[in-house]
């Protein structure tokens, strides 16, 4: 396949850096205000003991950091966008481990305080991340053609495949 070169900026959806900064801020402010001040939608906390919530929070947070670390280690060996399709390491099991790691951080905070308002914000965040991923996958299809289409069929988008089939 002929080599197509796109800059890092062309490989990402317009305003994605802004969204990566804005979404956590909006989520954390909403989560914090609901859990600490207004307490509008945290009534489920009465049914789930704090110890259980802290354990689940910790598990999701640790998993998030592991995914982010492994994806960063695989994707950013040097400081420029890869010129070949990377389908090794964590990317052999999931196509978007870094985004999933970010999403798991949101989920960990939701588990800590079971804020229903935060769940609604999370759904919006997930839809935006999914849109970013779809945009980036179209670019990868353009860059790597059939090789990427085969990779897409073998490797899940969001839920990691554990086995090495």
| pLDDT number for residue 7 | 53
Q: What is the pLDDT of residue 1?
A: 43
For 149, the token pair is 């289409």
User: Which among 45, 90, 85, 89 is positioned nearest to 64, based on CA atoms?
Assistant: 90
Q: Which two tokens stand for residue 100?
A: 């999933």
Q: Does residue 34 lie within any of the structural domains?
A: yes
**Spatial distance between the Cα atoms of 63 and 66, rounded to a whole number of angstroms:** 5
Mean pLDDT of 1-12: 56
Residue 147 within any structural domain of the chain = yes
CA 35 vs CA 25, 82, 100: distances in Å: 15, 42, 24
pLDDT by residue (tens digit) across 131-150? 999 999 999 999 999 999 99
Residue 118 token pair? 């935060």
Whether 87 is covered by a domain: the verdict is: yes
Confidence of residue 127 (pLDDT cuts 50, 70, 90): very high
Residue 9 falls inside a structural domain: no
Q: State the Cα–Cα distance between residues 123 and 132, nearest whole angstrom.
A: 14
Position 4 in a domain? no
95: containing domain: 16-154
Please say if the pLDDT value at position 4 is more than 50: yes
Q: Of all helices (H) and strands (E), which one includes residue 120?
A: helix 116-154
In a domain, 36, yes or no: yes
Cα–Cα distance measured from residue 108 to residue 101, given in angstroms and rounded to the nearest whole number: 10
Q: What is the CATH number of the domain that holds 77?
A: 1.20.120.1630
Domain membership of residue 161 (yes or no) is no
Residue 164: inside a domain, yes or no? no
The number of distinct structural domains making up the chain is 1
- For residues 4 and 32, give the distance between their C-alpha atoms in angstroms, rounded to a whole number: 45
Kindly report, residue by residue over 77-114, the tens digit of the pLDDT: 766 667 788 888 899 999 999 999 999 999 999 999 99
Q: What is the pLDDT of residues 36-47, one digit of tens each?
A: 999 999 999 999
């Amino acid at each position: 396949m002929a080599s197509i070169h796109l800059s890092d900026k062309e490989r990402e959806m317009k305003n994605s850096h802004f969204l990566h900064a804005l979404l956590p801020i909006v989520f954390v402010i909403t989560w914090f205000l609901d859990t600490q001040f207004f307490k509008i939608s945290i009534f489920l906390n009465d049914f789930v003991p704090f110890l259980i919530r802290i354990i689940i929070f910790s598990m999701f947070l640790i998993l998030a950091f592991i995914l982010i670390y492994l994806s960063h280690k695989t994707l950013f060996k040097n400081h420029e966008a890869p010129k070949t399709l990377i389908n090794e390491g964590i990317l052999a099991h999931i196509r978007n481990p870094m985004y999933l790691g970010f999403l798991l951080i949101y989920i960990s905070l939701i588990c800590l305080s079971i804020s229903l308002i935060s769940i609604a914000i999370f759904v919006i965040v997930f839809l935006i991340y999914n849109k970013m991923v779809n945009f980036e996958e179209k670019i990868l299809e353009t860059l790597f053609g059939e090789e990427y289409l085969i990779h897409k069929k073998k490797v899940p988008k969001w839920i990691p495949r554990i086995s090495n089939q």
